[in-house]
Amino acid sequence: MTSPALAVSPSASARKPARFKSLVTKYRVPLSILALCLLPWLLPSKALAVNVLIYGTVAVGYNLLFGYTGLLSFGHAAFVGTGAYITGIAIGQFGVPWYLAVLMGVIGGALLAFVMGALSTRTRGIYFSMVTLALAQLVYYVALQTPSWTGGENGLRGFTVNKINLFGFEINFLDPVNKYYVLMVFAALALWLVSRILNSPFGAAIEAIRENERRARTCGYNVERTKLLSFTLSGTICALGGTMSALHLAFVPLDSLHYLSSGMIVMMTLLGGVSSFFGPFIGALVFLVMEDVFSLWTSHWQIIVGSIFVLFVLFLPKGIWGTFLTKVMR
């Protein structure tokens, strides 16, 4: 995963196609948001569009850690799930207004990410992946063993959001189009935030760590603190995705905390391309559309998706969007 970060900085050898690339990079946030606006009208169903929106956000947030900091976490389902559970519990059991419940979910996910990050970033390389997976499983079993809060194996129900009050307007949240555009505001905010982080000096620091940790340390970066901050930020964005998912489904399945869900996030990110800002979003889109199409054919769609993923790792490690950007470069 140590390819030069495409679509992050215009290359020194700027040729004509490269200009296209630098334009894409420069206006990546408005372009992404434009794509989000069009999305529901390009996909077979509005529900699928909402799913793509949620998991696209999660994958872009996850990629802050995986693609840009070079840390392969297998535990990010813990933050998606925690965000979703806290939002659901806050609405269902305490009658908290939806926007506060979203905020609580995000803060809760951020705190968990900070604690998990503090433990796991003490370890290196392969160890890191194993530790994040194990810690996320700990969260999964805690949720399994506290059914009075989480509903245990059956998942969490009973917090349907029907109407949303926005500036005095009542919006029917059950209408898929309304739902999409309300949640899109959060997704757009998250995309802008990630882009902003990547353009900041901190963004340069995490890429320095990815390229060569020892050199980054020698240059005077505080590697441990930078890793931990990157971990926490990416976990926070994932938690936001989780709260969106809770609002969308009015249900939180226990499996949303399982490491297989973490693996799904990893797969989406890699399918789209880890070396670009918007790649993971494309990956989530492709993954969910594949799931949608293949599950019509067979209940064993996972064998197809798994095989495709294996082929991607072998032959197209830059992913769809990453490969496309590279081809445009030449």
Partner 1 sequence: MDTELILMQLFSGVALGAILVITALGLSIIFGMLGVVNFAHGALFMVGAYAGLWVASLTGSFWWGLLVAPIMIGVFGMAIEYVLIRPLYGRSIDDPLLLTFGLSYVLVEGVRIVFGSDGIPFPTPSSLTGVVDLGVGFFPIYRIFVVGVVFLVVVLLWLGLEKTKFGLIVRAGARDPTMMKVLGVDISKVWLLVFGLGVGLASLGGVLSGPMRSVNPEMGALVLAEAFVVTVIGGLGSLVGSIIAGLLVGVVISMTALFAPEMATIVMFALMAIVLLIRPQGLFGKLA
Q: Which residues bind partner 1 (CB under 8 A)?
A: 1-2, 72, 119, 122-127, 129-131, 133-135, 137-138, 141-142, 144-145, 258-260, 263, 266-267, 270, 300, 302-303, 305-307, 309-310, 313-314, 317
CB of 181 to partner 1, least distance (A): 34
> Whole-number minimum distance, CB 264 to partner 1, in Å?
9
- 49, 43 Cβ separation under 8 angstroms: yes
List Cα–Cα distances, 74 to 52, 178, 318, in angstroms: 20, 33, 19
For residue 212, give the DSSP letter.
-
Question: Which of 58, 131 has the CB closer to partner 1?
Answer: 131
Return the number of the residue (140 or 321) whose C-beta is nearest partner 1: 140
Residue 248 phi, psi dihedral angles, 5° rounding: -70, -50
**32/132 with CB nearer partner 1:** 132
Name residues whose C-beta falls within 8 Å of residue 258's C-beta, 6 or more positions apart in sequence: 77, 137, 140
- Paired with 170 in beta bridges are 165
**Are the beta carbons of 54 and 245 closer than 8 angstroms?**
yes
| Residues whose CB falls within 8 Å of the CB of residue 207, separated by 6 or more in sequence, listed in order | 5, 8, 68, 69
Closest distance of CB 307 from partner 1, Å: 6
Closest approach, Cβ 131 to partner 1, in A, equals 6
Residue 287: CB minimum distance to partner 1, A? 12
Q: Which is nearer to partner 1, 87 or 275 (CB)?
A: 275
Burial class (CB in 10 A: 0-12, 13-18, 19+), 162: exposed
d(CA 242, CA 288): 16
Q: Vertex 186, ends 208 and 285: CA angle to 5°?
A: 75
For the bound state, the minimum distance from the C-beta of residue 200 to partner 1, rounded and expressed in Å, comes to: 25
Two tokens, residue 129: 């992946």
CA distance 220 to 169: 52
Q: Which is nearer to partner 1, 195 or 234 (CB)?
A: 234
Q: What is the CA radius of gyration of the chain?
A: 19
Of the pair 48, 264, the CB lying nearest partner 1 is at 264
By beta-carbon proximity to partner 1, the closer residue of 45 and 145 is 145
CA 26 – CA 9 distance, rounded (Å):
9
State the amino acid at position 111 in one-letter form.
L
- Compare residues 107 and 144 and give the one whose CB is closer to partner 1: 144
CA angle 4, 36, 156 (to 5 degrees): 100
**Residue number with CB closer to partner 1 (77 or 191):** 77
Contacts of 49 (CB under 8 A, 6+ apart): 39, 40, 43, 176, 180
C-beta of 310: minimal distance to partner 1 in Å?
4
Q: How far is the CB of 11 from partner 1 (least distance, A)?
A: 22
To partner 1, the closest distance from the beta carbon of 78 in angstroms equals 12
